[in-house]
A and B are shown apart, each in its own frame.
Chain A
Amino acid sequence: MSKVKIEINGIEFETDAGATILQAAQQVGIRVPRLCYHPDLPAWAACGICVVKVAGAGKMLRACATPVEDGMKIVTHDPEIVHVRKSVLELILSTHPNDCLRCPRNGNCELQRLAADFGIRQVRYESRVAHLPEDDSTKAVVLHPEKCVKCGRCAIVCQQMQNVWALEFVGRGEGTRLAPTGDIKLAESPCIRCGQCSAHCPVGAIYEHDETDRVWRALQNPDLHCVVQIAPSVRVAIGEAFGYEPGTVLTGKTYAALRRLGFKAVFDTNFGADLTIMEEASEFVQRFVHGRGPLPLITSCCPAWTDYMEKYAPDFIENFSTAKSPHAMLAAMAKTYYAEKMGIDPAKIYMVSIMPCTAKKFEIIRSREMFDGERPYVNVSLTTRELARMVKECGIDFVELPDEEADTILGYYTGAGTIFGATGGVMEAALRTAHYLITKRELEDVNFLPVRGLEGVKDAALTIAGREIRVAAAHSMNNIETVLDRVRASRRSGGEPAYHFIEVMACRGGCVGGGGQPYGADDEVRRRRASGIYQDDAMSTKRCSHQNPYIQKLYAEYLGAPLSPRAHALLHTHYRRRPLYAR
């Protein structure tokens, strides 16, 4: 990339042509304050906080959106600029409720931090807070428009990153709101509940539907046998809430914390992931080797993706793996196999899933297969953020906790289970087992690097038993149409399918970048969380799902074989076309 020479606050240096002033300033240790800017998104340039002076320009320019030019002389801080920023900040605060103590973002709010950094002690302007009703219709993410600063991140995420178009700017002037168009509820919109809006919101205007109260009540109910499971990506992110670096693997401490919260048994969704692989890889072999069912096979463990597919791409229903997602499988096993083994009435087992995800809150009630009669297999699905709050609320010193083990028989996992947490991981795990199922031989090197990493669409091919398998792993919903269109094109041409196996994760980076993960994720954080995941895999003694002794035991004792009638009844689901707009 070509370089340009610029000067910022008297510091002359070279930077990449095409960098913005904000990015260039970062290189020389200058942080230009900002509110609406987010590194995941194209600069929207709304807030007016990042204004700087550029020699020769009559007005102040936005550092987030202004590309550097050769010879540019920039001032990022002087009394006038700071004064303007402060005035703008005060204007924003004058329309904000400023009830920080009661806000879900208290302590990690970007507006609060700005106010602190600027030393705001008074707001000169009259207070005008628009009292708008909350929208908790999805029971996954809550819109709280009263707190909204109209930074636009949620709408840009929803439209450009996720291609969902549930959120849009509505109204104008001071009446502008971020909401579904047409004044409908979010649940009536195309929202797929991925929660990326909540992960990108700088303030408390969009957040997860909090269900910690339900869990507290269950934990205090002596009649209930509360059990819990943690998703693969939770262990590498939860530490961020307690001062750890992103990607620190904290499986043992998380188990210990959950026991201290009062859970009777602590399971690991990674075990469920191993089970999912047994079913899904078998499904793949059925379709690929025996021609029973259409190709490509598409993974279905991401509930936001299945929701998207049912709304936007129902022509792929037949291609979906019918395997339930790992936590749903594990929950079904907890209330059948585990209950039987332990002699506990399944009705008394209360299953809590700790997920990186807001969409899981919807998944657990999305179809009748998620229920055992009237009772849901998963009672509550909490996000990583909610668990972190519970741990803090309970006075547990997370850092000082000992490492503990999960409870067998649903707690032991292989490396294949843990990599579900990163984009490409399900694919890699499935291929490890599919290779064994097809060839009856173990892989020499289980690492399948082409599907790892943050590239939006990862195409790869491998040969098993002399046949080429073309695979793709896509993440962030704006990338998926590319893959689907290739499949549609090959369908139209009637030739070989473009792919045999496709993995899709709705969130950028996969579950490590999930909508329910601790705040502040960007690509650097996602990379570090993913590297924690792969480290956990590399450290595992067993790295293929079919090698998991407890999985083998489960099939031997209870399920029979993958895709058996009992497995179908308990571990599989179905999909149906859903309208984009519910009314």
Chain B
Amino acid sequence: MAYSQYVLVCAGTACESCRSAEIVRRLQAGVRARGLEGSVQVVRTGCFGFCAQGPVVKVLPGDHFYAQVKPEDAEEIVEEHLAKGRPVQRLLYRAPGRAAGAAAELPFYQKQFRIVLRNCGVIDPENIREYIAREGYAGLERALFEMTPDDVIEELRKSGLRGRGGAGYPTWKKWVFSKEAPANPKYIICNADEGDPGAYMDRSTLEGDPHSILEAMAIAGRTVGAQQGYIYIRAEYPLAIRRLEIAIRQAREAGLLGRDILGSGFDFDVELRLGAGAFVCGEETALIASIEGRRGMPVPRPPYPAVRGLWGKPTVINNVETLANIPVILLKGGDWFGSIGTPTSKGTKVFALTGKVNNSGLIEVPMGTTLREIIFDIGGGIKGGRRFKAAQTGGPSGGVIPEAYLDTPIDYESLAELGSIMGSGGLIVMDEDDCIVDVNKFYLEFTVDESCGKCAPCRIGGRTMYNLLTKITEGRGSVADIEQLHAVAHAMQKASLCGLGQTAPNPVLSSLRHFGEEYRIHIKDRRCPSGRCKALVTYSILPDKCIGCTLCARRCPVNCISGERRKAHVIDATRCIKCGECYEACKFGAVLRA
């Protein structure tokens, strides 16, 4: 029996934390109360991506897009929209300056192209039949019955798919190395140890479409000759873990995992391995150590895991996003996939768009899309009409990209030329209120904290760089500090053992390159242009502008502003904690931040 209306409710981590589960319950109760169970289906889906507007509810047909829905709105949606066919106007999302429209027409979605996220926000991730209905496991079927392992590798080669975990190594090559390695058994590992601050591409994919990963791992197993797969996922992703567990169980029951898959004679099973959340465990040799029960510390490569990996056996390690592409490549062909993107970087890329951008969320765009399109068309521009300053890609291993390069088509090579990296897909937008030195201190703090401590350059160099930045943001910097930053960064890049340490200096180096002047102002003028570095900022009140409204004095948390009503006020700089409350509060521009 077909339903006439479908209500899709985002059940990703972000929307769930905004009570989307309760929305579902109340929608279902409303549907039952009105006897609509036969015609309306309420579906808990994966992430829609438009996280800034969550919880999101979509109604089909009509593609009506409800944003920021609250549980108490559920009855109205049922009563008005589902029962009477009158969409609830007050809840429909409207892009600035536009009327409410179909979801697909929203500026946020128009320039997106979804391969990886094809099922997120569309199907119920806890129901294997919905995945199968969307051609799920058809790629595996092809790999089992229509293609040889070499055919699969050839399709991958033609697709030009490169690893989405950061380094961009051609996926087909990894598979070939493992396939041709003589040792047995072999293993497939899905690297779901997503750890960049602000990045949640993999989590959403696993939450919204877990079967796509299982299918891809089985295809990989078939291709290289492995019978066991592991998904290494951080324990902080409980929802993704739960959905994966459900998916594995359903796939086993359906004969899509386990012994003799679909009667092909091929055995393949998948188990989860939970990580404790160390960033370094995303590095493949550290990840392997962690699965083996040892402390997660990298070891030198070669030998590469593809040849000698888990328990010394050939192991393919692919990241979640890489794997999610594979079933589609097998169905639509490598040529089709290769037609998307730029000459060197094929397909799409998922980004977690965050920071000072209006439409923060999870997006997927073809390679070659420009940052301007992402930030201004999809992202809806900078919050509060502030001025764009820089975009940070590649998280703590990446770099900042200034305004001058907003029109660069994004791919692996162009980002590397700008001193950043594609990374796993974190994209953080900064505006004029962000201090570049301060932001880099944040990234270094992260890598310093996440360094495993094994190799000296990373363990010591990171902290040394961090302390140099601290000096600079506290007004104790000298020109020699910049030389030291370069020297330590060079040693870290060249002599660190793994990618974490080798790339940890990238944010600083790229910002020195693009925003060197801002460092110089911090050091020579002892000034922070954006006013972020408290030690370099003083607040004072301009007597000719102050009308004595007392608002600042009332806001001041330490009571260091004094003055009579209608007379100019004064800030006691010795007691001021530089919180900026007065600056924000003053309606007359009388508070000077310098």
Contact = CB atoms under 8 A, between A and B. Distances in A.
B455 A47 contact: yes
A84 B497 contact: no
A172 interface: yes
Given A91-B460, A125-B488, A169 B454 contact: yes
B453 A169 contact: yes
Contacts of B462: 173-174
Contact of A45 (B278, B300, B459, B491): B300
Interface stretch (B134-142, B235-243, B399-407, B443-451): B443-451
B455 A171 contact: no
Nearest to A81: B494
Interface size class of A (residues with CB under 8 A): 35 or more
A468 B175 CA distance: 55
Interface in A73-129: 80, 83-85, 87-88, 91-92, 94-95, 124-126, 128
A117 to B, nearest CB: 17
Interface in B459-515: 459-464, 467, 484, 487-488, 490-491, 493-497, 502
Contacts of A67: 302
A124 B484 contact: yes
B299 A45 contact: yes
Nearest to B487: A87
Most chain A beta-carbon neighbours within 10 Å: one of B299, B462, B463, B502: B463
A84 B495 contact: yes
B302 A48 contact: no
Nearest to B498: A45
Contacts of A474: none
B456 A91 contact: yes
A176 B455 contact: no
Interface in A143-172: 149-150, 152, 168-169, 171-172
A62 B457 CA distance: 13
B471 to A, nearest CB: 9
Contact of B453 (A51, A66, A88, A171): A171
A47 B455 CA distance: 5
A175 interface: yes
A46 interface: yes
Nearest to B465: A125
B297 interface: yes
Given A87-B487, A168-B295, A150 B502 contact: no
A95 B457 CA distance: 12
A176 B300 contact: no
A65 interface: yes
B427 to A, nearest CB: 25
A94 B454 contact: no
B457 A88 contact: yes
Contacts of A125: 464, 484, 488
A390 to B, nearest CB: 35
B490 A62 contact: no
B452 interface: yes
A193 B332 CA distance: 64
Contacts of B488: 87, 91, 125
Nearest to B495: A48
Contact of B454 (A61, A88, A124, A176): A176
Contact of B297 (A60, A87, A169): A169
Nearest to B464: A125
A365 interface: no
Contact of A51 (B295, B454, B463, B494): B494
A176 B464 contact: no
Given A46-B455, A168-B295, A169-B453, A66 B460 contact: no
Contacts of B460: 91-92, 94-95, 174
A95 B448 CA distance: 15
Contacts of A126: 464, 467
Top 7 closest pairs, chain A to chain B, by CB: A176-B453, A48-B495, A87-B491, A65-B300, A91-B460, A45-B300, A173-B451
Interface of B: 278, 295, 297, 299-300, 302, 448-457, 459-464, 467, 484, 487-488, 490-491, 493-497, 502
Interface of A: 43-49, 51, 59-62, 65-67, 80, 83-85, 87-88, 91-92, 94-95, 124-126, 128, 149-150, 152, 168-169, 171-176
